[in-house]
Amino acid sequence: MPHDQGEHEALVIEDEAGNIEAQIVVDALQEVLIGKGLLTALEVTSAIAKLESPGIHLGAQVVVKAWTDPDYRARLRSDGRAAVQELKIPVTEARIIVVENTPELHNLITCTLCSCYPRSILGQPPSWYISKAYRARSVREPRRVLAEFGLDLSENIQLVVHDSNADMRYLVLPEPPEDLERFSLHELEALISRDHLIGVAREVA
């Protein structure tokens, strides 16, 4: 990771992740279902493992392919879902829209209504992405939010915030590092963080 993610997350997380009531209901329901033989504990853990297996390594793979293969990049921009599937990554989202950063433009992804996120390629969203503070402030004062993530975006750069409020899911295609040829594909993938792909970080180096 290019920077410590623990540092800024502490700034934006609020105390709302611990939904104790829902947890109690879920635990009770699971106990009843297992007791009645309708479900096994193994089925629960394997479902959780399946849910948690996608991660940002998949998103990073897509981005590096786009950086190093112009034809792929064009296909990714026109049909994100099909281009991701080309890499044998299973996609559950109806559509993936890839938004590209340029020297003049920066993209930021949010979901003001809940926690919509391209889980097939990025895994589960970080807790700050789900927080009410990020969901409200990412549309209300996005430049201040970026500054809190350590990104002071120049006013000359256009900021486009994408609210994934409905059926589309979004992936930011960051700009490649200037000295792209210096790195192997694996090294390039390792330079990309989840924050780049949401848009709360910009420079990949």
Partner 1 sequence: MKRFAAGDIVQVLALGKTGHVRIPHYIRNQIGRVTEYCGTYLNPEDLAVGNTAGRAVDLYRVAFSQRQLWPDDVIPQHDTLVIEIYDHWLAPAKETPNAP
What three-state secondary structure class fits 64? helix
Please tell me whether residue 161 binds partner 1 under the rule CB under 8 A: yes
Identity of the residue, 9 or 79, whose beta carbon is nearer to partner 1 in the bound complex:
79
What distance lies between CA 168 and its chain's CA centroid? 13
Please tell me whether residue 132 binds partner 1 under the rule CB under 8 A: no
Q: Which of 164, 174, 194, 204 binds partner 1 (CB under 8 A)?
A: 164
d(CA 66, CA 71): 8
Known catalytic residue at 154: no
Going by C-alpha positions, the residue among 172, 157, 174 that lies closest to residue 108 is 172
Identity of the residue, 30 or 165, whose beta carbon is nearer to partner 1 in the bound complex:
165
Q: Residues 94, 168: contact at Cβ < 8 Å?
A: yes
Known catalytic residue at 138: no
Identity of the residue, 80 or 176, whose beta carbon is nearer to partner 1 in the bound complex:
80
Min. distance of Cβ 29 from partner 1 in angstroms?
19
Please tell me whether residue 139 binds partner 1 under the rule CB under 8 A: yes
Check residue 140 and give left, alpha or beta (phi > 0: left; psi -120 to 50: alpha). Answer: alpha
d(CA 137, CA 106): 17
Q: Residues 99, 162: contact at Cβ < 8 Å?
A: yes
Known catalytic residue at 131: no
Going by C-alpha positions, the residue among 114, 95, 119, 109 that lies closest to residue 160 is 109
| Stretch in the footprint of partner 1 (CB under 8 A) among 34-42, 59-67, 140-148, 172-180 | 140-148
Given the residues 46, 53, 78, 115, the one annotated as active site = 115
Given the residues 46, 111, 164, 184, the one annotated as active site = 111
Min. distance of Cβ 111 from partner 1 in angstroms?
10
Residue corresponding to tokens 């700009």: 175
The two structure tokens encoding residue 177:
């590092």
Q: Which of 113, 147, 180, 185 binds partner 1 (CB under 8 A)?
A: 113
Known catalytic residue at 115: yes
Please tell me whether residue 39 binds partner 1 under the rule CB under 8 A: no
Min. distance of Cβ 85 from partner 1 in angstroms?
17
Measured from the Cβ of residue 87, the count of other Cβ atoms closer than 10 Å reads: 13
Applying CB under 8 A, which residues contact partner 1?
94-95, 97, 112-113, 139-143, 155, 158-168
What residues are annotated to the active site? 111, 114-116
